[in-house]
Chains A and B, each alone.
Chain A
Amino acid sequence: MSAVHNIPAPRASATDDAPVLEVRDLERHFTTSGGTVRAVDGVSLTIGRGEVLGLVGESGSGKSTVGRCVVRLDEPTGGRIALKGTDITHLSRRALRPLRTDMHLVFQDPSSSLDPRMTIGQIVAEPLRLHRLVPRSGLRGRAEELLGQVGLRPEHADRHPHELSGGQRQRISLARALSVAPDLLIADEPTSALDVSVQASVLNLLADLQRDRGFGCLFITHDLAAVEFLADRIAVMYLGRIVEEAPTAQLFADPLHPYTQALLSAAPVPDPTLQRTRERIVLTGDLPSPLSPPPGCHFHTRCPVAMDRCRTEVPELRELREPPAMSRRVACHLANTSPSGD
């Protein structure tokens, strides 16, 4: 991988102490003929400068919708989103435009996120051109430089997206996202569409860039191993709500929510000897329809340890304080109020 050099540090701003991203009680409800779909139902999360937060969940959990709301490709129906202390929840598209240099997005599908009619050079330089950060004559040079930083060659600038492999396209997505040196990168399943060996190189690149440039990152994925590799903290979503949030190592070592436990146990480990000894929690039933989520705890219909209280009372996302200053949150009636003694 090429050395990552001469990249401008994230710009300083007046609100340097504010977290890069602060989301409070975010809601995204869709009205359909069948009723209201609560895709995101009261999600709060915070990402500090240079921090990587993994947002994990299965399909239908609303994790991607959270990401799309943050970059305002989707309109939140409730709650508040603050980017570096600035409330952007209801900013008009025009008013938001100058702030777009502070955040960028990498999509899941590298074949649909690049305009097939543009050359790679044009794609990578587009944010710079639109924000007039680089004079027109300098765009090409800057694009080649960016391509070099993501491990591609300058001559790739003249190609079209369909001439490159999936991994290369995802590198282009990254180069485009980082061209404006954002303080926040939303990565929505950036490796899910890629082959194992390609995944590894894209994850390495993302980790290198994140370390060198220090941007905050919301890493959305269903891949537990990938999130463990990259994230400092992990939030787990189920049916539009966060059920657990903890520092990465703690979440894997000691998951508190039954859903997190099931999720961790269900992912097979690529080691047959170890895999044979693992206890797998197989969840019964299906993911309930988000049109009529179950009352109380959304997870109680599939929870192996649910009790009566879970069927009626919504568990609050409570803060647990473990060994001093290690904060983790869990939304379960059963998770001990006295931080894990087991």
Chain B
Amino acid sequence: MKPSTSRQALGAPVLSVRDLSVSFRSDTRTVHAVDSLSYDVAPGEVLAIVGESGCGKSVTSMAVMGLLPSTATVTGSVRLGDRELAGAAEKELAKVRGKDLAMIFQEPMTSLNPVLTVGRQIGEVLRRHQGLSRAEAKERSVELLGLVGIPAPERRVAEYPHQLSGGMRQRVMIAIAVACDPAVLIADEPTTALDVTVQAGILEVLQSLRERLGTAIVLITHDLGVVADAADRVLVMYAGRAIEQAPVDELFAAPRHPYTRGLLGAVLRPGQEGKRRLPEIPGLVPSLTAQPDACTFADRCAHADERCGTARPPLTPDSGHRVACWHPVAVTHEEAAR
């Protein structure tokens, strides 16, 4: 489906996140949504950030975009090319957002303005960032709609969001996002609100964008099927921390963190289900109000010992497959063979 060459490392990272931490403070408590997260994305690469609800994956992307509310405290570094975005002035960020760094959201209806035509909304971005004239912008809008696979773009460009289906609206959102040929596209659960047959189309569009425009994509999702389909590399988050990071094939074939292993075991595989019993992960996700110097998964982990409860496991420095665990699962022969 996708050329395997695209899976190789593609040089210097275009987006580089270092020690990103985000906490939300209310007067009764502080929630540590993201805890010292680091990752790189290379041009043309798809990095999937995976985790269950509340793990901090969406907060991460909002922090990268500089879209968090003022109740959030953000520390760490976010570098886009050679520009530092963390702590940059809102004016600076506004220049970058939508131009070099774009984002699409889960719910395309609420992200589009209902009283403006699709063309106007794409054109607005083009005119603001690229200074195109009205006519040029319109022409380019039609082109972009074609690019994201919307049939009859000349006609669709004059329509309003409510005239489009959910899948079409998400395509329009993508068209707006890639209008200025951004270096990085952050896609936050882009297909979660869509049906599978529609999702298939959106995934193809993202795939072709990365191939044709070389856009790096940060794909945030909870759906391991989508990860397997679209990602080159995967970052697994648990309770605000990165716990494992690996190329997609390696992660699925030989997950080393017990949580990743549990997650992959629990997921259903269509077309492969016998009447087996699904493996479960016992216990509940910990509350994020504490930032313990321990493994956050220790309470639920079968391999946990005293050390897991008293020292926080660092992400192993090895650049390929990294895991934050004191007792990573050994790779079996069978898995190594894959």
Complex interface bits, A172-197 against B, C-beta within 8 A gives 1, otherwise 0: 00000000000000000000000111
Given A196-B222, A269-B269, is A286 in contact with B201 using a C-beta cutoff of 8 Å?
no
B320 on interface, CB distance cutoff 8 Å: no
Q: Which of A200, A223, A262 contacts B279 (CB 8 A)?
A: A200
A223 to B168, CA, bound (A): 22
Cβ contact within 8 Å between B199 and A266: yes
Q: Is A229 an interface residue (CB 8 A)?
A: yes
Residues B273 and A225 in contact, CB atoms below 8 Å apart: yes
Which residues of chain B are near A268, meaning CB under 8 Å?
A: 199-200, 203, 223, 225-226, 228-229
Specify which chain B residues have a CB less than 8 angstroms from the CB of A228 in the assembled complex.
Answer: 268, 270-271, 273
Identify which of B2, B52, B270, B272 contacts A196 (C-beta below 8 A).
B52
Q: How far is A59 from B198 in the complex, measured between Cα atoms in Å?
A: 11
> In the assembly, what is the distance between CA of A274 and CA of B248, in Å?
12
* With contact pairs A165-B284, A268-B225 given, residues A196 and B263 touching in the complex (Cβ less than 8 Å): yes
Q: Which of A273-309 contact B (CB under 8 A)?
A: 273-278, 280-287
A310 vs B200: C-alpha distance in the bound complex, in angstroms?
Answer: 25
B 110-131 binary contact with A (CB < 8 Å = 1; else 0): 0000000000000000000000
Residues in B whose Cβ lies below 8 Å from that of A265: 200
> Per DSSP, are chain A's interface residues mostly helix, strand or loop, or mixed?
helix
B44 interface residue, CB < 8 Å from A?
Answer: no
* In the complex, per-residue mask of B199-225: 1 if CB is within 8 Å of any chain A CB, else 0: 111011000000000000000001111
Contact A197 B263 (CB under 8 A): yes
Q: Does A264 contact B (CB under 8 A)?
A: yes
The interface size of chain A toward B, counting residues with CB under 8 Å, comes to 47
Whether, in the assembled complex, B183 has its beta carbon less than 8 Å from a beta carbon of chain A, the answer is: no
B165:A287 contact, CB within 8 angstroms = yes
* Smallest Cβ-Cβ distance to B283: which chain A residue: A197
* CB pair A286 B168 closer than 8 Å: yes
Residue of B nearest to A228 (CB): B273
Give chain A nearest CB distance to B338 CB in angstroms. 7
User: Is A264's CB under 8 angstroms from B271's CB?
Assistant: yes
B264 neighbours in A (Cβ, 8 Å): 270
Contacts of B268 in A (CB 8 A): 199-200, 203, 223, 225-226, 228-229
Could you tell me if B278 and A200 are in contact, using CB atoms closer than 8 angstroms? Answer: yes
Q: Is B277 in contact with chain A by the CB < 8 A criterion?
A: yes
Interface check B227, CB cutoff 8 A: yes
B195 to A, closest residue via Cβ: A58
Q: Report chain B residues within 8 Å CB of A266.
A: 196-197, 199-200
Q: Is B89 in the interface zone, CB < 8 Å from A? A: no
Alpha-carbon separation in the docked complex, A217 to B275 (Å): 16
Contact A263 B168 (CB under 8 A): no
Contacts of A229 in B (CB 8 A): 268, 273, 275, 278
State the CA gap A2–B199 with chains docked (Å): 38
Cβ-closest 10 pairs across A and B: A225-B268, A268-B225, A200-B266, A58-B195, A270-B224, A195-B52, A268-B229, A200-B278, A266-B200, A225-B270
12 contacts between A and B (CB under 8 A): A197-B266, A267-B196, A267-B270, A268-B199, A268-B225, A269-B225, A273-B253, A274-B228, A275-B225, A277-B1, A282-B197, A283-B200
Using A225-B270, A268-B223 as known contacts, list a sample of 17 further A-B pairs with CB atoms less than 8 Å apart, ordered by residue number in A: A195-B53, A197-B52, A197-B263, A199-B268, A228-B271, A263-B196, A264-B270, A268-B226, A269-B225, A270-B228, A271-B269, A272-B228, A273-B249, A273-B253, A275-B228, A280-B1, A286-B168
